Structure 1
């Protein structure tokens, strides 16, 4: 006997943009109604169905009831850091798996930009996941311990923003959560298209996609996502060290990666953000800083040095000392004139810091999270 899930296909997220446009087109319904539906769900996060959406054609209501749900994911828990700057969301997907998204709040009045006091107040950045688990297997990242389980649909990516909007008005989005975004490329592009359209209206300049260096995806990134920021998890200045700490680097040799980044920058003229996790005795010596400086001296880049966050007693890595981080930064800045920052750590008390993202099921207690560069808007050059 067939199971109910086999007999009755699951309804799709109303935020699966390509699917709902296709279904509306086939039914002869104008696509201009779709942003109105999204706006209704955003403003009515606990709506059980889509019958309350105003001013739709009768055929649209029937189609929505038959094939779509307002959201297919459920917000299971929301944990706040002690200083309340970080909120970690555990989200259960329709297939029973879970992912995490992290809201980070920045008070702009406490900092300066370009040497001048900043106006404004608190603004929020959302770190989203693109996959359940990850294929890349980076040895310093807890997500890699999960292995790869599944890609998120574009709707499941967008729903993380919908859930987060209950807690904060999101201004920036970074794809730095679970998974390698470039390995879920079509859903990535589609989700960002929703983020930048009505009703979300995020600026593409306030969206950042982080990758370990998927060369073929970088080659088409600018054409598909113009003005969106590209961040590269480099983490080492030579191929041997990269392969030791990032097994996936074997498939993307450093020379080919740098050629792809140079081509991308020639076409886009955009700053590239370089993420570099500081591992004691592995990649944090002055010689490594000189290697990195020489590697990047022809680029318009910002290097973000990331203090390593412990991912459990089994980790073989230790955090670089503050002294080594400062020496490293001094070389990159002072000798190679490359803008270099040290990542502001947020959410460590709720395991919401960089590299700690992992979900433990079936008990649904999360032991991980994610984080961002300091504040992406501070990196405008």
Structure 2
């Protein structure tokens, strides 16, 4: 029985070059293969003429490109958002979202099938945990979005499609931003997520800047500390949602394992070690955590930190009966945060009609 081919997307460039060297081929061939795949979007062996035939024959037997087939593609009425139900090779499915904004494209990608954190207002948390994704399955989502952008360039509006320069990256509408805010808890799948980030940041490939990658956690304290100690160049977003231990634990069950005071210590450690701000996420639920009292509590909790608060009006899910905060209450919340020197934004809602918004991603269990 022949061995199972390696998913190319699982390999960092260094790992690829080491593997190629073990075959007694030049590292130059491995580097060129990397550029074909990540810079030019080529996965057809016959379309890699700069690689020697003998090398291509060997690579074709050793690798597969773990592209994730699209089971369902859904377009939002907003005209800027697409959601993809992608099929994993074990029959499971995950969801990935493409969001267009003026001057940039963002991919919201998943790190797990399901989620073990159980946040009560989150559809992924309501479905429970199924399994971790491999690094290659995480990378494949970004590559899917990149491929879509290549294929739909002619359909894009001139303002979005026009390249900003003559570099190879400007040949098509680029994927510029990654948010690890899809299905799953990224810091619960730390090693695979960080390997995927290393692959996506590689300058010989997609070359995404760490400043354009945001990782969102429900507050996995060991992961936050490790992220700080390893000095990973990504933005950190922490889902807060409650400014007291009791209030937070009612919405975020993980708070029982990592209490609020322990989480705040970890966040302060991260800020001091990395010398960068944390983005705190606060889902605004009408009549529950959107009051002036709640805003003052957030202000007191975060005052003095290098922080920004991202306010997210609740998105509907079948398993939670709360309502989103109105515009006036959200603005009042912002004004109170400003009194404590805390900048804030209200998240622009995208794809709500196709359940592509924050907290809405979920698939049926099998």
Interval containing the TM-score (normalised by the shorter chain): 0.7 to 0.9
Cα shift at 1:355: 0.7
Distance 1:164 1:225 in 2: 27
> Which residue of structure 2 aligns with residue 263 of structure 1?
269
Contact 1:307 1:319 in 2 (8 A): yes
Once the two structures are TM-superposed, the CA of residue 227 in structure 1 deviates from its matched residue by 2.7
Where does structure 1 lack aligned partners over 5 or more consecutive residues? Answer: 1-6, 108-121, 363-381
Cross-structure match for 2:182: 177
Aligned residue for 1:41?
37
Given the superposition, is the C-alpha separation of residues 32 and 46 from structure 1 closer, same or farther in structure 2, using an over 3 Å criterion?
A: closer
Is the Cα contact below 8 Å between 2:36 and 2:42 reproduced in 1? no
Offset, 1:51: 5.1
Aligned length: 339
Matches of 1:82 and 1:167, distance apart in 2 = 18
The match for 1:290 among 275, 289, 296 is 296
Secondary structure at 1:135's aligned position in 2? coil
Query: What residue is the counterpart of 1:341 in the other structure?
Result: 345
Following the alignment from structure 1 to structure 2, what is the Cα–Cα distance between the partners of residues 264 and 72? 35
Partner Cα separation in structure 1 for residue 28 and residue 247 of structure 2? 51
Structure 2 spans left out of the alignment, 5+ residues: 150-173
Residue of structure 2 in register with 1:358 after alignment: 362
Q: Does the alignment pair 1:164 with 2:119?
A: no
- Give a deviation string over 1:101-143, Cα, whole Å, max 9, x none: 1111111xxxxxxxxxxxxxx3101111011000001000000
For the Cα contact (< 8 Å) 1:14–1:38, is it kept in 2? no
SS across alignment from 1:352: coil
Normalising by structure 2, we get a TM-score of 0.86
More contact order relative to length (CA 8 Å, sep ≥ 6): 2
Residue 179 of structure 2 aligns to a residue whose secondary structure is strand
The structural deviation recorded for 1:222 is 3.1
What is residue 205 of structure 2 aligned with on the other side?
A: 199
> TM-score w.r.t. structure 1 length?
0.83
The structure with the greater share of residues assigned to helix is 2
Match of 1:152 in 2: 133
Alpha carbons 1:106, 1:124 under 8 Å: kept: yes
Distance change >3 Å, CA 252–CA 286, structure 1 → 2: same
The Cα of 1:74 is off from its aligned counterpart by 1.5
Q: Is 1:87 aligned to 2:79, yes or no?
A: no
Distance 1:38 1:162, change over 3 A: farther
**Per-residue deviation, 1:60:** 4.2
* Cα distance in 1 for residues equivalent to 2:4 and 2:69: 15
Counterpart for residue 98 of structure 1: 93
CA–CA separation in structure 1 for the residues paired with 2:344 and 2:23: 53
d(CA) in 2 for partners of 1:31, 1:94: 30
What is the aligned partner in structure 2 of residue 124 from structure 1? Answer: 105
Tell me by how many angstroms 1:170 deviates.
0.7
Summarize the alignment of residues 244-323 of structure 1 with structure 2, pairs less than 5 Å apart. Answer: 244-312=250-318, 314-323=319-328
Q: Whole-Å Cα distance in 1 between the matches of residues 11 and 304 of structure 2?
A: 39
1:212 Cα deviation (Å)?
A: 0.6
Match of 1:15 in 2: 9
2:21–2:27 CA contact under 8 A, matched in 1: yes
